């Protein structure tokens, strides 16, 4: 699996979680764990824009249970993945 494909799969999984359940259903802990995994994967692959977007979304999830904000963060992850400046 290519670097971007591995990250895209993780982001897809997170986005699916947002669509099929309310963000609070599994608590922020589930989201935080998924975002930690994305950030770690991005760091290993030198995908700095993705790691930064994951860190920003993790901070948002930790402070605010607003699903719209979380959707925006997932969108930012997708945009960061699309830049492929890494």
What pLDDT, on a 0 to 100 scale, did the predictor assign at position 24?
54
Tell me the DSSP string of 23-72.
TTTTHHHHHHHHHHHHHHHHHHTT-HHHHHHHHHHHHHHHH---HHHHHH
| pTM value > 0.85 | no
Q: Return averaged pLDDT per consecutive 10 residues of the chain, 86 residues in all.
A: 83 87 65 92 93 94 81 93 71
pLDDT at 79: 94
The pLDDT score that the predictor gives to residue 1 is: 56
- Is residue 14 a contact partner of residue 48, using CB atoms and an 8 Å limit? no
């Amino acid at each position: 699996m290519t670097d971007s494909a591995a990250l895209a799969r993780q982001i897809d999984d997170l986005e699916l979680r947002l669509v099929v359940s309310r963000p609070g259903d599994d608590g922020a802990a589930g989201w935080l764990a998924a975002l930690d995994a994305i950030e770690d994967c991005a760091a290993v692959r030198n995908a700095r824009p993705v790691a930064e977007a994951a860190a920003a979304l993790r901070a948002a999830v930790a402070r605010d249970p607003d699903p719209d904000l979380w959707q925006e963060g997932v969108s930012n992850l997708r945009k960061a993945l699309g830049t492929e400046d890494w």
